[in-house]
Chain A
Amino acid sequence: MAELLQFTITGVSVGMVYALIGLSFVLIWKSSGVANLALGGLVLIFSWFTYGMTVQVGLPYWIALPLVIIFALAVGWLIERFALRPLIAQPILSLFIVTLGIFYFLEGLAVFIWPWMVDTLPPIFPPEPFHIGTAVVAQPYIWAAVVSLVLFGLLTLYFRYHKMGIAMRATADDQFAVQACGIPVTRIFSTSWMFACVVAAIAGVLISWIGGVSHGLVETGVKSFSVVILGGLNSFLGCIVAGPIIGLAENLGGGYLTPLFWEGLEDIIPLIIIIIVLFIKPYGLFGEARIERI
């Protein structure tokens, strides 16, 4: 039983970090309809940047973390300014592929500066694990979950009530009409990309505290697809709910089903679950249905 609780708590916590990465994806989708295929690359580059600042340059966290945030803001602004602004109102698939190009660029950048390394970040939390019931959970897991929930709350409020948040939702609906209303669409894209990069950076740092920095972090990008599709492409709540579900499915599946059936089953269990859910709710658990009128 202790094992079950352990799996559950770690699964949910890791799932929360997936959800955070998913939040970054949803942020950009909600404000521009673009699928950010570069997400894995962003998480990668921010994690390595943190590593560079803390381990290679040796800065303490209270300087390094704000630097990472500033770096994330800069990257977001640069991407929007030079890669996405020229493509306003172009076919959406072209925008997807531009983000793919950005992904290759970021992955190449990470390989260039930190060629094929695997390492860990200096610890920020005390090494004593939390004891929840009978489970023993290392601190980074719990903190990751807490941070994710806080960010989720902030983003939801922003999008529901803030003027810019409403303008972002309008832009996702009809980019052209928004321009006719005089809203600076460029400012909206800039803001959403900068926010999204900051969220991805925070997620990257959290996941590195849990599992170390490596080039395998690009896998998180693919995981985040599963999270956002299960949760609903334009729902923050969907992310926060779907993330733990996927994390849990991976952990429990890996822990219990694998020894029974084939090894490696934990990789595809989440995908099977999602397809089953989508048959029941085609727009994800909390997604908004496409409004169609002929």
Chain B
Amino acid sequence: MLRLNNIEVTYLNVIRVLHGVSMEVPDGGIVALLGANGAGKTTTLKAISGLLHVEEGEVTDGTIEWDGERIDKKPAQDIAKLGIVQALEGRRVFGHLTTEENLLVGAHNRTDRAAIKRNLEMVYDYFPALKNIRHNIGGYLSGGEQQMLVIGRTMMAAPKLMMLDEPSLGLAPMLVEEIYDIINRFNSEQKTSVLLVEQNVRIALSIAHYGYVMENGRAILDGPAEKLRDNEDVKEFYMGLSAVGTKKSYRKVKHYKRHKRWL
């Protein structure tokens, strides 16, 4: 189980980006991290993965715990060896390697050749489209294929916690549905926890069990997915479904415009 305890993250020692974020990802669960751009979602994922130092950032306060053990001071490769693997945002495939080589890179830390082979077959099973393009050069794949490749690469590491940063970015809606079905399947079949950062609130909450909403570096709202879906604040500010245009009774009309009470 992953637990973030009130972490603060600062870049370059002068820009504080996260002001005390706490969250929990239970074993086998899917947790969605929602919020507008610039809320600090990607920074949270980088903090968990240990990749902040690359951009001169650091966790200045609070702790990150995995199964009770502190991981916020560990180097990135140790965190990945613990089973926490991230698929970075922006479809970062290795451009000059073939699809299959890309997937094999994901399994680099595993030593059992037979298990890796089985895992490769499993990934091709989840993503049949990848099997057809297994010898194509990574840099020339289409956006959808690259996103599938990146998620497949994460699966190849046999993760205990899979973190996905905006998997639906720039993809056709049908493909987004398909990818989310696969993520859901992967979670239920392999019992891998998933931490999902997403802009597309509808699709994220459709498979998540729990959700956190972040804004300005704080987690301002959290709750089970069904509750979030029906939450008025989420609907108005992140899904754009305001009360304007729907039929209202006088009893339901509010005298003030809905505003963000947490700011």
Interface residues of A (CB under 8 A from B): 88-89, 163, 166-167, 169-170, 172-174, 176-186, 234, 288, 291, 293
Contacts of B88 in A (CB 8 A): 176-177, 180
| Known contacts A88-B54, A166-B101, A176-B54; A182/B77 CB under 8 A | yes
Chain A residues with CB below 8 A from B137, complex form:
291
Q: Are B105 and A170 in contact (CB under 8 A)?
A: yes
Query: B242 contacts the other chain (Cβ, under 8 Å)?
Result: no
Q: Is the interface of A mostly helix, strand, loop or mixed?
A: helix
Chain B residues near A178 (CB-CB < 8 A): 94, 105
Size category, B interface: 20 to 34
- Contacting pair B139 A181 (CB below 8 A): no
Q: Please give the distance in Å from A184's CB to the nearest CB on chain B.
A: 4
B96 x A180 contact (CB < 8 A): no
Contacts of B154 in A (CB 8 A): 181
Chain A: minimal CB distance from B64 (Å): 16
Question: Which residues of chain A are near B87, meaning CB under 8 Å?
Answer: 180
Contacts of A291 in B (CB 8 A): 95-96, 137, 139-140
Contact (Cβ within 8 A) A179 B51:
yes
Known contacts: A166-B104, A182-B76, A182-B85. The answer to whether A173 contacts B54 by CB under 8 A is no
Our pick among A172, A181, A186 for the contact of B153 (Cβ within 8 Å) is A181
Q: Which residues of A contact B102 (CB under 8 A)?
A: 170
Binding site for A on B (CB under 8 A): 49, 51, 54-55, 76-77, 79-81, 85-88, 92-97, 101-102, 104-106, 108-109, 137, 139-140, 153-154, 157
A177-B88, A181-B108 known; 16 new pairs, CB 8 Å cut-off, are A170-B97, A170-B101, A174-B92, A174-B93, A176-B88, A180-B87, A180-B88, A181-B157, A182-B80, A182-B109, A182-B157, A183-B108, A183-B109, A291-B95, A291-B96, A291-B137
Contact flag A173-B109 (CB < 8 Å), given A163-B104, A183-B77: no
Contact residue among A89, A176, A186, A234 (Cβ-Cβ distance under 8 Å from B92): A176
Report the tally of A-B residue pairs with Cβ distances under 8 A.
85
Provide the bound-state CA to CA distance between A217 and B154, in Å: 47
Report chain A residues within 8 Å CB of B85. Answer: 180-182
Q: Within the complex, what minimum Cβ distance (angstroms) separates B36 from chain A? A: 24
Do A181 and B95 have beta carbons less than 8 Å apart?
Answer: no
Which residues of A sit under 8 angstroms from B106, Cβ to Cβ?
181
**Residues A185 and B77 in contact, CB atoms below 8 Å apart:** yes
Question: Using Cβ atoms and an 8 Å threshold, which residues of chain A touch B51?
Answer: 176, 179-180
CB distance from B141 to the nearest CB of A (A): 10
Contact B96 A288, beta carbon cutoff 8 Å: yes
Q: How far is the CA of A61 from the CA of B74 in the complex (A)?
A: 45
- Would A170 and B109 count as touching, CB distance under 8 A? no
- List residues of chain B with CB within 8 A of the CB of A169: 94, 96-97, 101
* 5 interchain residue pairs of minimum CB distance: A182-B80, A291-B139, A177-B92, A89-B54, A184-B77
Neighbouring B residues of A88 by C-beta, 8 Å: 54
A181 to B54, CA, bound (A): 15
Contacts of B153 in A (CB 8 A): 181
A166 CB to closest chain B CB, in angstroms?
5
A173 to B137, CA, bound (A): 12
Contact yes or no, A167 B108, CB < 8 A: yes
A173/B104 in contact, CB under 8 A: no
Shortest beta-carbon distance from A245 to chain B in Å: 25
Q: Which residues of B contact A173 (CB under 8 A)?
A: 94-97
Minimum Cβ distance to chain B for residue A84 (Å): 14
In the complex, the chain A residue whose C-beta lies closest to that of B90 is: A177
A124 to B55, CA, bound (A): 52
Asked if B80 and A180 make an inter-chain contact with CB atoms under 8 angstroms apart, the answer reads: yes
- In the complex the two chains form, what is the Cα distance from A118 to B76 in whole Å? 48
CB distance from A254 to the nearest CB of B (A): 38
CB distance from A168 to the nearest CB of B (A): 10
A234 / chain B contacts, CB cutoff of 8 Å: 96
Return A179 CB to nearest CB of chain B, in Å.
5
Note all chain A residues with C-beta closer than 8 A to B108: 163, 167, 181-183
How far does the alpha carbon of A174 sit from the alpha carbon of B54 in the complex, in Å? Answer: 13
B121 to chain A, nearest CB (A): 18
In the assembled complex, which residues on chain B have CB atoms less than 8 Å from the CB atom of A186? 77
A237 CA to B214 CA, complexed, in Å: 51
B262 to chain A, nearest CB (A): 31
Q: How far is the CA of A182 from the CA of B88 in the complex (A)?
A: 12
Q: List 20 A-B contacts (CB under 8 A).
A: A88-B54, A89-B55, A166-B97, A166-B101, A166-B105, A167-B108, A170-B97, A170-B101, A170-B102, A176-B54, A177-B92, A177-B94, A180-B76, A180-B88, A181-B108, A181-B154, A181-B157, A182-B108, A234-B96, A291-B137
Chain B, Cβ-Cβ closest to A288: B96
A172–B49 alpha-carbon span in the complex (Å): 21
Measured CB to CB, the closest approach of chain A to B170, in angstroms, equals 12
Expressed in whole angstroms, the Cα–Cα distance for A186 and B77 within the complex equals 9
